[in-house]
Amino acid sequence: MLEFPLLIAQIDTAQDETTGDFYYRTYAPGIGMAECGEVYVLNLTYAHRRREAIIREADVLVLNNICCPDLLPLIRDRRGEGKLTVYELCDDLNDVPPESPIYGFYRNPENTLLLKRMARTCDAMQFSSPELQRKYGFLHPVSHVFPNQILEIPPERNNDGKKEIIIGWGGSLGHLEDMAKIAEPLSRWLESRNGVRLHLMCGEAIRGLFRKLPDHLKKWTPPGSLNDYHKFLSTLEIGIAPLKDTPFNRSRSDVKFIEYASHAVIPVVQDSGPYSAVVRNGRTGFLYNTPAELISILDRLASDPQLRGRVSAGTRDYVLNERLQKPHAAKRVELYRSLLASNPARRWPEDSAGSQFSRFSSLEGAELCGRHALLRAARFELLMTAGMHAANSGDISRAESMFTEAAGIERLDYSPHFSLACLSPEPLESLQESIRLNPKSIKTWLFMGDLAARRGELPRAMECYKTAMDVFPGYELPYIRMSALLRNMGNSDQADVLLREAKRLASLRF
């Protein structure tokens, strides 16, 4: 296939760019694709000040779990220009556990409706696990699975001469129930065996599950960056991974397994979800179902150094042969090129990808590596993100101060004004400024319609909802809002017509 120049932009939700999710789903694939011929890659979060320009210009746009209605007309326009937009789903957002910070957002049915509309509007979908494709592949006729891969293999380790066998686990509070199920039997076993020790990298809540375990049998490391986590993994010989059998967990990636494997740490993981299909029992790791089975496997490994050596080598060989990022990144690029080539509207400028990349990679905060640029947060993005955190924690005055400063830095960006409107008891002025800067902001028009409806300005509310509908007629929510308003006005017949149209749109598979 012709290797025409490509500018690929991967946009993630606003988050810490040092986390594992960002690294495995955005950063590492970006680095791998940028090493393919004539491919330039930009990685950024949705908070970035130049996101809209990048969205308009990139040949390939990958949206990772992004859920914003204002992208809908941009995606439509991109298709008309022969550009490719891919929606990536890397979590089961219909079954988010209550302890997750995004639980409240996706508990709102309007947001899950928007998630599906976003996916259907794009040109293709990609998933981080086969289970996600099985559950959500109905949203789009074109979908592919790209599992997490290892970008860099750690140096080969030597366990010769070690007197202790280090068993360990590291992870987030979301695994509290998983660890609680094994904490007591694991602690009893550790006390019963000589020459074994537990290392944990976690928060205080999970650390507390092992408070009865004597200090000389355990070591605790507080949570840190992904680099800190890999340093922690280098101290382990056996890594455990309990995982409760839930819809959300079944859709997870097998990243903990491949992280263990890349460090030649022997994985002893739950026989469920992401691990069942990939672990070759007794060769690249071990699968268990119950805490008793876990203890039995650990006991066997502790007693058999030759078994430990054999499985440790096998698990590392598996990663070296099958789970390196660069060959898999080439498959992504090949897919994107083929999808672009199938669009009859596509035109091939000679070298716009390189010149566009040069322009965006020179922005403040850009971290350049060959044909890859990570567009890190500068002052504007830091203010917007910190403002969101302050608003979520109830510190409204601090949030307002940050959004106001952000608006002064990027005077053509409407998002600080929309954020200010969300905080104000009198949001109209901020909403009007948001619309002035972006007349096609669906979320702003919907907000203005809701505000007018609350004030009893029903014709104005209808006008705002109708404008949102006109910006992107395929989005269900404006129809639902107008239907509810007409019903309250006593016009049930017209309300039913709009509601039926909303249901028709929601039922469309593509």
Q: Please write the tens of the pLDDT for every residue from 257-314.
A: 999 999 999 999 999 889 998 999 999 999 999 999 999 999 999 999 999 999 999 9
Give per-residue pLDDT as tens, 434-451: 999 999 999 999 999 999
Compute the distance between CA of residue 387 and CA of residue 403 in angstroms, rounded to an integer. 6
Residue 426: is its pLDDT beyond 60?
A: yes
Q: Work out the average pLDDT over 216-231.
A: 94
Q: Work out the average pLDDT over 487-493.
A: 91
Compute the distance between CA of residue 13 and CA of residue 11 in angstroms, rounded to an integer. 7
**In the chain, what percentage of residues exceed pLDDT 90?**
82
Domains in the chain: ranges and CATH:
6-151+324-377 (3.40.50.2000), 165-322 (3.40.50.2000), 440-507 (1.25.40.10)
Residue 510: is its pLDDT beyond 50?
A: no
Q: What global pTM score does this model have?
A: 0.92
In terms of residues, how long is the chain? 510
Confidence at residue 161, expressed as pLDDT on a 0 to 100 scale: 59
Q: Of the candidates 215, 454, 247, which has an alpha carbon nearest to the alpha carbon of residue 446?
A: 454
Helical packing angle, 291-303 and 305-322, nearest 10°: 110
CB neighbour list of residue 189: distance below 8 Å, 6 or more residues apart = 295, 298, 299
Residue 173: is its pLDDT beyond 90?
A: no
Burial class (CB in 10 A: 0-12, 13-18, 19+), 269: buried
Q: Of the candidates 228, 301, 288, which has an alpha carbon nearest to the alpha carbon of residue 259?
A: 228
Confidence at residue 74, expressed as pLDDT on a 0 to 100 scale: 97
Terminal CA-CA length for the chain? 28
Amino acid present at 460: R
Give per-residue pLDDT as tens, 241-259: 999 889 999 999 999 999 9
The overall average pLDDT reported for the chain is 93
Compute the distance between CA of residue 24 and CA of residue 437 in angstroms, rounded to an integer. 35
Beta-bridge partner residues of 126:
88, 144
Give per-residue pLDDT as tens, 131-151: 999 999 999 999 999 999 999
Confidence at residue 386, expressed as pLDDT on a 0 to 100 scale: 94
Whole-angstrom CA distances from 98 to 89, 170, 221 are 19, 21, 26
292 touches 217 (CB < 8 A): no
Compute the distance between CA of residue 374 and CA of residue 365 in angstroms, rounded to an integer. 8
* Phi, psi dihedrals of residue 33, rounded to the nearest 5°: -70, -35
Amino acid present at 441: S
Whole-angstrom CA distances from 495 to 464, 465, 501 are 16, 13, 10
